[in-house]
Amino acid sequence: MNITTIKNWAVALFSITILTSCGDDDPGIVINEPATYVFERNGESTVSFSGQTTRTLMAEEILSAFKDPTKSQQTIDAMFAHTEGSADFTNADLNVSDKSVRSKTAASSDLFSSNTALSAEIKSDFDSWIAEQVDTVFPNWELEASVGVAGQIQEAGGGSIRYVNGKGLELNQAFNKGLIGALFVDQIVNNYVSTSVLDAGNNVPENNAGVLSEGKSYTNMEHKWDEAYGYAYAKAADETDPNATLGENDSFLYKYIGRVEGDEDFTGIADEIYNAFKLGRAAIVAGDYEVRDVQAEIIREKISTVIAVRAVYYLQQGKAGLEQETVDYASVFHSLSEGLGFVYGLQFTRQPNSESPYFTNAEVNAMMDDLMTRNGFWDVSTTTLDDISNDIAAKFSFTVEEAGS
Amino acid sequence: MKKTYVIFKLIALAGMILIGCSEDENGPATDNFDRKAMLENWADHIIVPGYESYVSSLGELNAKAETFTTTPTLENLTSLKGAWLNSNLAWQKVAMFEIGKAEAITLINFTNIYPTNTEDLLKTIESGDYDLTSISKQDEQGFPAIEYLIYGVRDTDQAIVDLYAQEMVNHPYKIFLLDLTNRLETLAQSVLDDWKNGYRDTFVNNSGSEATSSVNKLVNDYIFYYEKHLRAGKIGIPAGVFTGTVAPEKVEGYYSGKSKELFMAGLDAMSAFFNGKSPDSNLAVEGEGLKTYLDFVQGINEGEDIGELINAQFDLAKTKAEALNDDFAQQIESDNMLMLEAYDELQKNVINMKVDMLQALNIRVDYVDADGD
């Protein structure tokens, strides 16, 4: 048990005290927090996040397409920017959907509603990863990769084959981990738990009066919060109790909440996130928006921490690999590619009680440049990996050592 | 009500945290066990003699491969197979010592990665252009690749002899086979040379108890080998423990049918090392090793007899394994339950060693399971 954790508990105890006094000020409000994420009205569930499930499934199929060298750029682009009725996916349910992954990439209300230029720039980063995979990696699928030459490279011990560009970057990892930030995290912390979305239009008076969305069992505000929840837990075996099968069946945020939970320095974070979602939703039902917003800040801080911890973890894994006498480059490239994707995701995090991410787009781009300069991962220095790790950890309440093991 | 309950829960948790803190303050239990004497026993009576036997068996393998490729006959093929088995059995006795030079060159990854990738291997042979030092070629060399080339590359022994007897310029199969046997010998020799030219003393003198000390490192290597290679590689993975789907083609010794003999050699070597003995030793008494170390610590702590527990568990695992078919692939296909039972007995000693033994000896685990994606 370290001091940071104790400090966190002290903060938690303190916040609870505040919550109690809030309640005392509003003796009329009673929050009924359920044991699991089950909310009903007249015996009917009021929880719905089918759009999040759909986008998660679409994103999974795009990841598979990155590993299929017979796919054309046009095909993968169409999967990314799906339009209703196009036969882009193997899952027919996805084809009839009017949802798309690309339209919600870097598309949060708080960060991008008045910064569409940056949103477009970020979307084009994802487009360029698809294009480079098809243009440079697919043609070299059977070639051994080397400095400046895309191709395949195998991990030690007859291990996994990794497909990299000329700088040792696995573009599918950049896309996958980048999307965790640009879609999943951004939509949660900068959109659906934000007052700009929750309290939009007549949401507050309607929620207070129990006015439901047309033809639905939920109020608008309830639904917005559930959409945030869906970006974290849509693929859980039991959507009402996701931590029972934490991280399974998913390649995105849910999986990595599980990974961070598995590091004993961060054990408990999965419950903190889940409980904040659950209490926040119960507070909406009760009309207690102060409690709701406190939970939103917890969600922001903890989910941002997940991204930062994984960024540092993978950079440190890559560093450890480079320090071996016999360097397993495929394994190092894999770690650093995941690390780069999580670093990219830092621009979509959210410092609690602020309007700002932990790192700006410009700061993230500078870190990406440091990683990709000259021959990229073929000659990145361990000093660079440490510098970036230290810069990230310094903004959070964990150390490089805690995240790196 | 709800909030009061939450607060109560938090206070209870905070209390647990405080208790956790005081436990941690106990610090490392110091013991004055003669770690250096144990390291000397390991180096001089187990590790170096083990590598000497291994290198000498590889000399024999090389000689037989020369004879067979020069004069491909059924008789010479049989004696090459015998040399392959002997050297592979000798390897099982040193495979767990991935420290020093062996660690630096990742000896195990260039020696015994199975299943060998036969598709890539055949492409490599035919291209005639390859670099066996490349990490990408680790599953196309070593014992499993040699095994494929002398047991599995054709359906019958006669067809294999015929393949090597073909009149060809720069016969690619002959050249590749000799490259593989030569490389095994070169790698093993470099490790043995390193032990004999200074590393033995470095190893023995690094007798402290910090994470980088020889005892802490080798004990970690030992348990890692037990967990990843003996338990998972030889039994668990082909028996489908981790996926729920059996994979008989992933057994060690797939083409020779020698999986059980190789496994038993490995298991015997691991239990002998635990007792401070060479698996080739005729001595009935144990030398300074993990067993005597545990007995020593137990004398201080009056805890349960972990050493006896581990030895008893080794015996149980041996009994289970002895009942298996000589060819694990056949065992998996006829009755995989017996493989799973053997796995379960092996797994129990992971807990005994990785948790109980390391705690008693105050050694920290220095590896984590791979990320897996």
pLDDT at A26: 55
pLDDT in tens, B218-233: 999 999 999 999 999 9
Q: Does B105 touch chain A (CB under 8 A)?
A: yes
Three-class SS state of A164: strand
Has the ipTM of the complex gone over 0.90?
Answer: no
Report angle CA B223, B224, B228 to the nearest 5 degrees. 120
Closest-CA residue to B292 (of B278, B313, B306): B306
Among the partner-chain residues A153, A326, A328, the one whose CB lies closest to the CB of B104 is A326
Is A345 part of a structural domain of the chain?
A: yes
Helix axes B74-92, B157-165, angle to 10 degrees: 100
CA distance A361 to A359: 7
Mean pLDDT of the B327-334 span: 98
Contacts of A6 in chain B (CB under 8 A): 17, 21
Q: B10-49 pLDDT, tens per residue?
A: 444 443 333 333 333 333 445 789 999 999 999 999 999 9
Q: Is A46 within a domain?
A: no
pLDDT computed for residue B279 by the predictor? 86
* Protein fold of B29-361: A middle domain of Talin 1 (1.20.1420)
- Mean pLDDT in chain A? 93
More confident residue, B127 or B27: B127
What residues form DSSP beta bridges with A144? A152
Flag whether residue B109 sits within 8 Å of chain A, measured between CB atoms: yes
User: Which residue on chain A is closest to B136 by alpha carbon?
Assistant: A154
Predicted local distance difference test score (pLDDT) of residue B90: 98
3-state secondary structure of B216: helix
Count the alpha carbons within 13 Å of A6 in the hemisphere toward its beta carbon: 10
Mean pLDDT over A35-52 rounds to 96
CB within 8 Å of B131: residues ≥ 6 apart: B137
Q: How far is CA B314 from the centre of its chain?
A: 15
- Kindly report whether the peptide bond that precedes residue A69 is cis, defined as omega within 30 degrees of 0: no
Q: Name the domain count of chain A.
A: 1
Cα distances (angstroms) measured from residue B10 to each of A13, B5, B17, B139: 7, 9, 10, 53
- The 8-class DSSP code of residue B285 comes to S
Residue B4's pLDDT band, with cuts at 50, 70 and 90, is very low
Q: Across the interface, do A158 and B117 touch by the CB < 8 Å criterion?
A: yes
Domain assignment of residue A403, yes or no: no
Q: Where are the domains of chain B?
A: 29-361
CB contact under 8 A, B109 and A157: yes
Residue A265 CA: distances (Å) to CA of A6, A234, A238: 12, 26, 26
Q: Which residue of B has its CA nearest to A173?
A: B373
Q: Which of B134, B139, B373 to mutate to test the interface with A (most CBs of A within 10 A)?
A: B373
Mean pLDDT of A66-75: 98
Residue with tokens 């998996």: B332
Model confidence at A22, in pLDDT bands (50, 70, 90)? very low
Residue A27: band (very low, low, confident or very high) from pLDDT cuts 50, 70, 90: low
Residue A259 belongs to what domain range? 51-394
Full-model pTM: 0.82
User: What pLDDT score was predicted for residue B283?
Assistant: 61
What mean pLDDT is reported for chain B? 90
Q: What pLDDT sits at residue B284?
A: 56
Q: Which residue of B has its CA nearest to A23?
A: B3
Shortest CB distance from A13 goes to which of B14, B103, B135? B14
Kindly determine whether residue A329 and residue B109, on different chains, have CB atoms separated by under 8 Å: no
Asked whether the beta carbons of residue B135 and residue A20 sit closer than 8 angstroms, the reply is no
For residue B370, what pLDDT is reported? Answer: 55
Contact B112, B142 (CB under 8 A): yes
Specify the pLDDT at position B366.
Answer: 87
Residue A138 counted as domain residue? yes
Confidence of residue A376 (pLDDT cuts 50, 70, 90): very high
Q: How far is CA A321 from CA A174, A325, A337, B96, B133, in A?
A: 19, 9, 13, 21, 18
pLDDT at site B110: 98
What six digits make up the tokens of A102?
């690309």
What is the average pLDDT across B309-327? 97
pLDDT in tens, A222-236: 999 999 999 999 999
Name the percent of chain B lying above pLDDT 90: 82
DSSP label of A152: E
Whole-number pLDDT of residue B26: 36
pLDDT digits (tens, 9 = 90+) for B252-284: 999 999 999 999 999 999 999 999 998 887 665
Averaged pLDDT for residues A91-99: 96
Residue A269 lies in a domain: yes
Q: What is the pLDDT, as a whole number, of residue A135?
A: 98
The answer to whether residue A20 sits within a structural domain is no
- The per-residue pLDDT for range B109-126, each reduced to its tens digit, is 999 999 999 999 999 999
Please report whether residue A143 resides in a domain: yes
Are A89 and A82 spatial neighbours (Cβ–Cβ below 8 Å)? yes
